[in-house]
């Protein structure tokens, strides 16, 4: 037998499973197998379910002996959707308070089972069984053999099943999912390791499910179960390039240096005769490199002359190279793989503190160029994650249309799949990726630290080749959990030790931030939030031009939002007719606000923000919706303009948020059914690379500024006029330098005025529009309706009469 070795990316997050060595290679076929073959096991499975412990079933064979009934289940899928399909649960789980009916099922166990034939061509090959997403506490059997157990819903689970497939009949694959609530109830909860953000989430901290599953202020409680991503067999070839990691280590004026790390499986006796050949192409730019192998793992550097670089949206084309790598023995190709690579360098330049007296920094640079970040937070695409993949294209199309050059993948969610990042890669959307933890004191036991280490290794290795990923962040608001309770987050070994070690080990050239927002030792010692260079700007959520917003000291705002009511046609799809109106003490409005404990706080907040702007809360639903959407639209437009007008003291804003993950009353600017609120159109206008903006009054005047957030000089014509009189207030030509702001003039104003300024400009041959609402609340709803028609008419990108419908 010839000596063989395996170096592979596959991380077996398995308890009790053992890797079995591959069988000796069979004789080569006429046409060698160059890449692994993937055989889907998706489709219809059997699903058995019952309250956990009702039957003493510990083996798949006992299911039939017990005489239990089963239903058809879809894989990928969630068990609640299968129960809904079979009418055991309501057809529309999001209607009214139907989701409350899921509560008893939190204590169930679920058994998935299916039969499948042994794939042809698998004899003599290493065969891997891969589950791309299992929620959550699982035991696996194949043909009666127990493969192992896993307990992490957010990473792939893999088993070597070489020699375990049978050729004389169908293979039987079974997966048991236990109750996470029962598992959590058996854990210890020593202080301070608890959830600080709400009463419904305590059971979340030990169980590696997305935190939002237990109920959040943006998502309902749906403690789901299921095989939520694809299941497949992978037939591995005799020779295989198992991993390639690409990193841009330097960029010069006409040259880039691309570092490539590799791992492969092959016959070790062939090594003296083997080479890796790599060829990359992006348009007319190409590179080629041949590397002589000394071992099955290594690293080499490729010099790329005049590379086409990957740029974020608005700053250039997100150029990508198609790279083909071949394992060669002389002229014979033994293995091959294809990758997409972006050549770029991303830096996060930050300081531990900032202040007016001693300004710090929090700034992203791409290829040496400072980037003014304009983007949004990415939240769960759906409460039932088996439906995420089908929503990726349509939701990310909204980000692209809005001109977002950045998104933050929030830590209360799952880790999105390759398809998500592929879209971001192709469209120049940088991704801030939180590790999946949020708003809690997570356990610091050696056991849990190891769980997080394995999870992080799996995620980082899977996603690290995507050029869109700009940053790994330790969590969402866990530092704040410590700070708010008078504790020092430096004691959090997960984000201070485990995760930075993993990032350095697996992706050493990408920035890491311990938390969002991160509270440095200096911030903790001074007990002053205002020293943080990066902040989540929530606070009282009062008038959007209050001092809380305008006098903030943070350079970078990674969360900021404002409520906006969805349109009436959408509300009627999730609120029953008897609960449509009034909003006060309305159980269904509260349920969809989202608050799992029945508090009306967020419904009241939406009403208060309406009253803040217009002086009163309307007595009918149509006017309430209209005024709420106007309030939200003006607020979010202002948040982006506030950032752009203070460039580079302000370096970015990631507002909350584009899309709802279920039907609700929220900060989102597009509801679950893809109906856009008014804020969508306002934000799209002010996130254009070149934008004309009016600043707040100072010394009896308002500045008029052309913001140019691009790498190209911009020229054009602009005009600012009074919406009521039509009087031109300022007009002329401008020439704004690349990536700079240009003040083109000032307009005299009085603080007592309530006026609307309309703006129109051209930039490199295209026409754009914006507006400015001058004055202080309360504003007249009737007056604003008349203004809205003029705001819409300037560019014609929406119809005023459709707002709130």
- What does the pLDDT read at residue 47? 98
- The region that residue 589 occupies, defined by phi over 0 for left and psi between -120 and 50 for alpha, beta otherwise, is alpha
Buried b (16+ CB within 10 A) or exposed e, 700-721: eebbbbbbbbbbbebbbebebb
Q: For the chain, what's the residue count?
A: 805
pLDDT tens readout for residues 300-348: 999 999 999 999 999 999 999 999 999 999 999 999 999 999 999 999 9
Residue 569, token pair as written in the block: 């046609």
Question: Rounded mean pLDDT of the chain?
Answer: 94
CA dist., res. 308 & res. 660, Å (int) = 36
Contact 489, 478 (CB under 8 A): yes
Nearest 5°: CA angle at 17, between 418 and 448?
Answer: 70
- What does the pLDDT read at residue 199? 59
Buried b (16+ CB within 10 A) or exposed e, 567-590: bbebbeebbeeebebebeebebbb
CA dist., res. 483 & res. 477, Å (int) = 10
- What does the pLDDT read at residue 744? 98
Residue 263, token pair as written in the block: 């791992």
Comparing C-alpha atoms, which of 77, 45, 73, 133 is closest to residue 384? 77
pLDDT tens readout for residues 610-665: 999 999 999 999 999 999 999 999 999 999 999 999 999 999 999 999 999 999 99
Could you write out the three-class secondary structure of 296-342?
CEEEEEEEEECCCCECCCCCCCECCEEEEEEEEECCEEEEEEEEEEC
pLDDT tens readout for residues 17-64: 332 333 333 333 446 678 999 999 999 999 999 999 999 999 999 998
Rounded to a whole number of angstroms, the CA Rg of the chain reads: 28
Low-confidence ranges of the chain (pLDDT < 70): 1-32, 192-200, 596
Q: Give every CB contact of residue 531 below 8 A, 6+ residues apart in sequence.
A: 353, 354, 355, 522, 523, 553
Q: Which residue has the tokens 């459709």?
A: 802
**CA 89 → CA 98, 177, 439, distances in Å?**
8, 20, 31
CA dist., res. 8 & res. 130, Å (int) = 14
pLDDT tens readout for residues 671-697: 999 999 999 999 999 999 999 999 999
Contact 208, 183 (CB under 8 A): no
- The region that residue 745 occupies, defined by phi over 0 for left and psi between -120 and 50 for alpha, beta otherwise, is left
pLDDT tens readout for residues 351-400: 999 999 999 999 999 999 999 999 999 999 999 999 999 999 999 999 99
Q: Across-strand partners of 346?
A: 366
């Amino acid at each position: 037998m010839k000596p063989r070795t395996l170096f592979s990316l596959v991380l077996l997050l398995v308890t009790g499973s053992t890797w079995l060595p591959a069988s000796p290679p069979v004789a080569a076929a006429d046409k060698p197998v160059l890449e692994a073959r993937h055989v889907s096991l998706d489709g219809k499975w059997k699903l058995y379910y019952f309250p956990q412990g009702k039957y003493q079933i510990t083996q798949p064979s006992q299911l039939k002996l017990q005489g239990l009934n089963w239903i058809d289940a879809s894989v990928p899928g969630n068990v609640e959707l299968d129960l809904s399909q079979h009418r055991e649960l309501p057809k529309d789980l999001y209607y009214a308070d139907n989701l409350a009916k899921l509560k008893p099922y939190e204590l169930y166990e679920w058994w998935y089972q299916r039969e499948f034939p042994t794939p042809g061509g698998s004899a003599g090959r290493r065969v891997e069984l891969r589950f791309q997403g299992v929620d959550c506490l699982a035991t696996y059997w194949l043909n009666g053999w127990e493969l192992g157990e896993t307990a992490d819903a957010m990473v792939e689970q893999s088993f070597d099943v070489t020699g375990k497939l049978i050729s004389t009949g169908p293979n039987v694959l079974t997966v048991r999912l236990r109750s996470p609530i029962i598992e959590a109830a058996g854990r210890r909860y020593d202080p301070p390791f608890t959830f600080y953000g709400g009463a419904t989430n305590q059971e979340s901290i030990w169980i590696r499910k997305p935190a939002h599953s237990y109920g959040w202020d943006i998502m309902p409680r749906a403690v789901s179960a299921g095989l939520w991503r694809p299941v497949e067999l992978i037939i591995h070839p005799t020779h295989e390039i198992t991993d390639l990691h690409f990193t841009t280590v330097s960029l010069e004026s006409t040259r880039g240096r691309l570092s490539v790390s590799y791992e492969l499986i092959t016959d070790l006796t062939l090594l003296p005769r083997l080479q890796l050949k790599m060829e990359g192409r992006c348009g007319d730019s190409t590179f080629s490199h041949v590397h002589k192998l000394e071992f099955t793992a290594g690293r080499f550097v490729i010099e790329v002359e005049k590379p086409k670089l990957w740029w974020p949206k608005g700053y250039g084309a997100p150029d990508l190279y198609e790279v083909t790598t071949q394992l060669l023995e002389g002229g014979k190709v033994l293995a091959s793989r294809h990758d997409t690579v972006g050549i770029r360098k991303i830096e996060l330049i930050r300081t531990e503190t900032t202040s007016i007296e001693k300004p710090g920094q929090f700034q992203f640079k791409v290829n040496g160029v400072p980037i003014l970040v304009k983007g949004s937070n990415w939240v769960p695409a759906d409460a039932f994650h088996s439906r995420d993949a089908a929503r990726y294209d349509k939701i990310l199309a909204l980000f692209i249309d809005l001109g977002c050059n950045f998104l933050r993948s929030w830590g209360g969610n799952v880790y999105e799949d390759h398809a998500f990042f592929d879209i971001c890669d192709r469209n120049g959307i940088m991704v801030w990726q939180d590790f999946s933890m949020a708003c809690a004191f997570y356990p610091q036991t050696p056991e849990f630290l190891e769980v997080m280490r394995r999870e992080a290794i799996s995620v980082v290795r899977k996603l690290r080749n995507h050029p869109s990923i700009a940053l790994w962040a330790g969590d969402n608001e866990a530092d704040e959990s410590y700070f708010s309770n008078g504790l020092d987050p430096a004691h959090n070994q997960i984000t201070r030790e485990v995760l930075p070690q993993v990032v350095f080990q697996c992706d050493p050239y990408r920035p890491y931030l311990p938390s969002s927002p991160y509270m440095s030792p200096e911030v903790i010692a001074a007990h002053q939030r205002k020293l943080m260079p990066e902040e989540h700007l929530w606070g009282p959520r009062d008038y959007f031009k209050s001092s809380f917003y305008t006098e903030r000291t943070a350079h970078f705002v990674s969360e900021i939002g404002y409520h906006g009511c969805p349109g009436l046609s959408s509300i009627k799809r999730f609120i029953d007719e008897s609960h449509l109106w009034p909003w006060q003490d309305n159980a269904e409005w509260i349920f969809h606000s989202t608050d799992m404990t029945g508090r009306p706080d967020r419904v009241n907040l939406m009403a208060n923000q309406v009253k803040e702007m217009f002086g009163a809360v309307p007595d009918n639903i149509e006017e309430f919706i209209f005024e709420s959407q106007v309030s939200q639209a003006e607020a979010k437009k202002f948040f982006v303009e506030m950032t752009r007008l203070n460039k580079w003291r302000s370096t970015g804003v990631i507002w909350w948020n584009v899309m709802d993950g279920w039907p609700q009353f929220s900060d989102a600017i597009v509801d679950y059914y893809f109906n856009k609120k008014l804020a969508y159109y306002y934000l799209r206008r002010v996130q254009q690379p070149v934008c004309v903006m009016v600043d707040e009054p100072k010394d009896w005047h308002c500045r008029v500024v052309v913001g140019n957030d691009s790498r190209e000089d911009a020229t054009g014509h602009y005009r600012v006029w009074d919406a009521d009189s039509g009087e031109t207030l300022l007009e002329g030509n401008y020439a704004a330098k690349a990536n700079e702001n240009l003040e083109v003039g000032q307009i005299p104003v009085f603080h007592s005025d309530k006026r609307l300024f309309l703006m129109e400009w051209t930039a490199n041959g295209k026409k754009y529009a914006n507006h400015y609402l001058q004055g202080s609340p309360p504003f007249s709803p009737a007056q604003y309706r008349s203004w809205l028609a003029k705001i819409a008419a300037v560019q014609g990108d929406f119809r005023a009469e459709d707002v709130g419908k």
